[in-house]
Structure 1
Amino acid sequence: MSTINIQNLTFGYDAQNELLFDHVQLYLDSSWHLGLVGRNGRGKTTFLKLLQNQLDYQGSIDMPMSTQYFPQVVSDPTQLTLYVAQSISDIEQWELERELSLLHVDLDVVWRPFEELSGGEQTKVLLALLFTNADDFALIDEPTTHLDIAGRQQVADYLKRKSGFIVISHDQGFLDQVTDHILAIDRAKISLYQGNYSTYRDDKERQDQYEIAENGKLKKEIGRLKHTAAEKAKWSTAREGDKYGDRHVKGSGAINNTGFIGARAARVMQKRKNLEHRMDKDIESKSQLLKNIETPADLTLNYIPDHHHNLIHLDQFTLGYTHSLFEPIDLDVNRGDRVALTGINGVGKSTLFKHLLGQAAPITSGTLTQAKVIQSLVRQQYPDNRGTLADFATARGLDYSQFLNNLRKLGMARNAFTTPIESLSMGQQKKVELAASLSQPANLYFWDEPLNYLDTYNQDQLVQLLNQEAPTMIFIEHDQHFIESVATKVITLQPINPR
């Protein structure tokens, strides 16, 4: 067991006006299963880079062990998987196979080209590499991407048996299983919690509710103080008028009372200043607390309910190219249904999507009936999203104001609005694809893994939106929490030849 000692860590990118980290003090136990959470752009991946000494910073980081980062860079994916692994880490074949067995991966993958492995197999190979050397400390960045539900569970079971690590993930259920501490990068501070993600979320909600309640009290107090200050200022001004304005009025007594009135007015003015100073300190104190409250705005959906009751009907339907990919299914997609399409990687979920969208023509059997409706799609890959946001919106026929509004609500920084889409981060590119679908008029939505690269706040926004608007939708997603929160029907594709 070792301690990662961080003192006065200060860092910010030159292009940004604000620091990501400002005099941060942390003591982290290397035996912890530490989850690193926070909104996109708050510095989670940057924090891992700082721990690896890849960026210049102020302060000190005492890292008493060597680190290994996931995902590793694969320079030549055409090589056999074993040679790819040995080019990244000095390991023996048996060491890699030992870890792959724990991850339920067929050992023949080591003799297949890395580029021919499925996304899930590639993920597991790279994760296995992290733990071939017990002396290294693992820094794991988004390990659940490309993993189906079964694969995520296998990785969760694997990590639960391992020594300490830091993991970034936006899968709340996954974090609940693999973490015993949470490090949260919030708006105004970094906070450490003992427990899993649910513990952090519950504590954060209680803290936010307390601060919101305190803010309500503060507003009332501010109103009372302002009223009192205004009344006393009015009295003070009037007394000064008595002192000087009426001093020559016969019988007024003003000359004899000017000293008394002036002294009293001065005391009132000083009291007023003290009240204002106290009020300013209260405002500053509470505003610092409220900076830490995350209040994502409500998204908007350009959903147009269609007059059809039944939009898609499948009866003993299956498809494939050389053979059927999955067992025949029955499905009715009615107006207002949100259908989750699940199954292992490679079972044909995306192929079924493409067929329903008219983008693929595999061999089919069974009955398929579709109503002619306006469709909207969120894709896993979107390399054709390029150029400026304005040109992109024009090409898609989007309302530019609504499109930008949804991007802002998803947390897209305004300084990214002038950046070409292809130069944006993966999370920002995902938000462009998602905001386009939200802003496009549609009767039926097809969303293929919409949560990839989105933080938990964005996920909560989508859950609230979909439950509120109740659009007709078919979606592919491996996040069990999202499925349980949104889906009205779940269809699991069963492979013809289970692997």
Structure 2
Amino acid sequence: MASIIINSLTYYYSSPKYAVFKNISLNLSTDWKLGLIGRNGKGKTTLLKLIHKELQPVKGEVFAAVDTYYFPFLPSDSSKHTFDVIRDNIAPFSQWDIEMERLLNKADEESIRQYGILLEQYQALDGFKIDALIEKETREIGISSDLLKREFRTLSGGEQTRVLLVSLFLKKNAFLLIDEPTNHLDIQGRMKLGEYLSDKKGYIVVSHDRYFLDLCIDHILSINKSDVRLNKGNYSQWKYNMELEEEFEKRKKENLSREVKSLEAAAMKRRGWANLKEKEIKGAKKKKGHISRISAKLMKRALTIESRVYDKLEEKKSLLKNFEKEKILKLETNTGSGELIAYMENVSFAYDRQHVFKNIWFYLKKGDRIAITGSNGSGKTLLLKLLLNELKADEGVVYLKHGISINYARQKPLWNKGYLGDFLSDNNLDVTKFRNILGVLGSSGEIFDRPLETFSKGEIKKVELCKSFIQPFDLLIWDEPLNYLDIASREQIEKVLLDSKPTMIFVEHDITFINRIATDTIILD
């Protein structure tokens, strides 16, 4: 069984200098279906690029006994038909076909020799059955034969993701490094990809979608607050074990605290007795040596107890190093229920004379949390833009209560270049409050010193969402708020939404989030 061996690896970013990994060692089987999780900006993509040799460690080494391939990537020519993009990404089959035909036509001794070399390569990479393999794999991942005939660049982001992953899995001796493949996939696409990956092996996948991870992984590598930890099982099993460990360490820490207080009291009592005996020495003419020995013995016992106190305190420090202290997020929302905030009646919208959706009906009352779901291209973002009066419906009635304050988190954040502090100043937003909210979501204050261009996609998304938490509102409108957002942040957001019960309408593909948060769902076909 081949392995990827990481030996005493240390890596840090240079500007500003920030340690990502310190002296980590891992042995990863290339037969595993390994999920990689952790907070945004904690080095998940960096670890993949170190394994892929795209980055070099500051110290230590990475050894891979297989060829590694990183996703996402761009094909060399996106104007080709999708079938040809897959075929030529596996190996240069089209080029080999032309060259082999040329050599056969020439038919001299040197040409026949070169033909034999090419033929051996062609056969080794399944060249004579590759077309059938492509058709089989694309069917399994939910790509129709019609899509294979279209130019690759005309496919949706989710379709392109699935096509390119098929091309990587059809490579020989390949270990895949798959970085957040679900971000452009709708719910059905995520389920299809999860089921497809569950039948494969030999990959590391970074994802923040808990349902998706449960579908397709058998090991999990977590970049935690103080270590990098490898566990067997899926996400739910990892989460359960982490919660058990945290609960055990909390109780142990509480017991140690009680022991420390008891020992400190005993040490203080012994010291008090020792000092009292020392005072007795000064006034005693007889038995002076005897009293002094008692005093020394009491002081020795006090020091012994204090040593035990120190040991217990050190033991406490070793506990809960990975525990993320719960920090409270708050939404400044108007409370209450029943009041009608928005509705659509019999709404239809067409684009280039093609109906995107027809006959949409919904009523949004105060306290409702409506999820909009549907396949890619079904018009989810368009529906939000109709509600915001950025577009006009072709038919039907769109109503939004006049004068209400709306916090809108866009699918593609507008703040993506420059420095965060400048944007906050230009928009008269409280820097201290913004910094605190980012801290609650796991992004440290140092990101204010970096340009937005250096932020991870998850950090950019957190900045966009922070704008929803910093100002009071009547209505939240969120367009795919969880894209690129780490699991811990998702769970924090779920908690604050359930506690605050805001009025909201949102587009999302995370099944776990929808099931926990939505009071109703609009499904666009």
Same fold (TM over 0.5): yes
Distance in 1 between the 2:419 and 2:19 partners?
27
Distance in 1 between the 2:70 and 2:140 partners?
20
Asked if the contact 2:341/2:365 (under 8 Å) is kept, the reply is yes
> Alignment partner for residue 216 of structure 1, among 233, 241, 254?
254
After TM superposition, list the pairs within 5 Å mapping 1:329-348 onto structure 2.
Answer: 329-348=360-379
- Pair 1:59 & 2:60 matched: yes
Larger mean Cα displacement after TM superposition, 156-165 or 173-182: 156-165
> Alignment partner for residue 136 of structure 1, among 162, 168, 174?
174
> What is the SS of the residue equivalent to 1:162?
coil
Counterpart residue number, 1:497? none
Query: Aligned AA for 1:293?
Result: F
Asked if the contact 2:410/2:480 (under 8 Å) is kept, the reply is yes
- Pair 1:186 & 2:186 matched: no
> What is the SS of the residue equivalent to 1:31?
coil
Deviations 1:363-422 (A, max 9, x none): 421222221211111111124454333332233343333222111101111111222334
- Pair 1:302 & 2:332 matched: yes
- Pair 1:293 & 2:318 matched: no
Query: Aligned AA for 2:202?
Result: G
> Alignment partner for residue 257 of structure 1, among 275, 287, 290?
287
Deviations 1:209-255 (A, max 9, x none): 00011111111111112212222222222222332xx34xxxxxx24
* Distance change >3 Å, CA 12–CA 277, structure 1 → 2: farther
* Distance change >3 Å, CA 458–CA 384, structure 1 → 2: closer
Counterpart residue number, 1:436? 467
How much does 1:88 deviate? Answer: 5.2
> What is the SS of the residue equivalent to 2:22?
strand
* Distance change >3 Å, CA 8–CA 418, structure 1 → 2: closer
Counterpart residue number, 2:36? 36
* Distance change >3 Å, CA 256–CA 43, structure 1 → 2: farther
> Alignment partner for residue 270 of structure 1, among 283, 297, 300?
300
> Alignment partner for residue 155 of structure 2, among 117, 132, 146?
117
After TM superposition, list the pairs within 5 Å mapping 1:443-482 onto structure 2.
Answer: 443-482=474-513
* Distance change >3 Å, CA 105–CA 261, structure 1 → 2: same
Distance in 2 between the 1:33 and 1:471 partners?
39
After TM superposition, list the pairs within 5 Å mapping 1:328-367 onto structure 2.
Answer: 328-361=359-392, 363-367=393-397
How much does 1:479 deviate? Answer: 0.4
> What is the SS of the residue equivalent to 1:417?
helix
> Alignment partner for residue 175 of structure 1, among 213, 219, 228?
213
- Pair 1:72 & 2:38 matched: no
* Distance change >3 Å, CA 307–CA 492, structure 1 → 2: closer
Deviations 1:24-78 (A, max 9, x none): 3333222111111222233222221222233224334332111111112456656
> Alignment partner for residue 164 of structure 2, among 126, 141, 155?
126
* Distance change >3 Å, CA 319–CA 242, structure 1 → 2: same
How much does 1:338 deviate? Answer: 0.4
Asked if the contact 1:463/1:485 (under 8 Å) is kept, the reply is yes
Asked if the contact 1:72/1:88 (under 8 Å) is kept, the reply is no
* Distance change >3 Å, CA 275–CA 77, structure 1 → 2: farther
Q: Taking every aligned residue pair, what percent have the same amino acid on both sides?
A: 37
For these two proteins, the number of residue pairs brought into alignment is: 485
Asked if the contact 2:186/2:509 (under 8 Å) is kept, the reply is yes
Distance in 2 between the 1:74 and 1:408 partners?
38
- Pair 1:391 & 2:392 matched: no
Distance in 1 between the 2:15 and 2:272 partners?
49
Query: Aligned AA for 1:48?
Result: L
* Distance change >3 Å, CA 188–CA 315, structure 1 → 2: same
Larger mean Cα displacement after TM superposition, 271-280 or 484-493: 271-280
Q: Give RMSD over aligned pairs.
A: 2.4
* Distance change >3 Å, CA 15–CA 268, structure 1 → 2: farther
Counterpart residue number, 2:398? 368
* Distance change >3 Å, CA 75–CA 258, structure 1 → 2: farther
Distance in 1 between the 2:440 and 2:335 partners?
24
Counterpart residue number, 1:234? 272
Distance in 2 between the 1:9 and 1:454 partners?
26
Deviations 1:330-352 (A, max 9, x none): 21100000000011110101001
* Distance change >3 Å, CA 257–CA 19, structure 1 → 2: farther
Asked if the contact 1:296/1:410 (under 8 Å) is kept, the reply is no
How much does 1:79 deviate? Answer: 5.8
- Pair 1:413 & 2:444 matched: yes
Larger mean Cα displacement after TM superposition, 279-288 or 299-308: 299-308
* Distance change >3 Å, CA 358–CA 395, structure 1 → 2: farther
Distance in 1 between the 2:285 and 2:88 partners?
97
Deviations 1:445-490 (A, max 9, x none): 1101111111111000011000000000001000000000100001
Counterpart residue number, 1:46? 46
Query: Aligned AA for 1:439?
Result: I
How much does 1:83 deviate? Answer: 6.4
Query: Aligned AA for 1:170?
Result: H
How much does 1:16 deviate? Answer: 6.7
Distance in 2 between the 1:28 and 1:65 partners?
12
Asked if the contact 1:180/1:194 (under 8 Å) is kept, the reply is yes
How much does 1:122 deviate? Answer: 1.7
Query: Aligned AA for 2:435?
Result: L
Distance in 1 between the 2:76 and 2:312 partners?
56
Asked if the contact 1:308/1:371 (under 8 Å) is kept, the reply is no
Distance in 2 between the 1:323 and 1:346 partners?
12
Query: Aligned AA for 1:263?
Result: R
Distance in 2 between the 1:151 and 1:402 partners?
38
Larger mean Cα displacement after TM superposition, 47-56 or 102-111: 102-111
* Distance change >3 Å, CA 316–CA 58, structure 1 → 2: same
How much does 1:4 deviate? Answer: 2.7
> What is the SS of the residue equivalent to 1:170?
coil
Distance in 1 between the 2:76 and 2:286 partners?
94
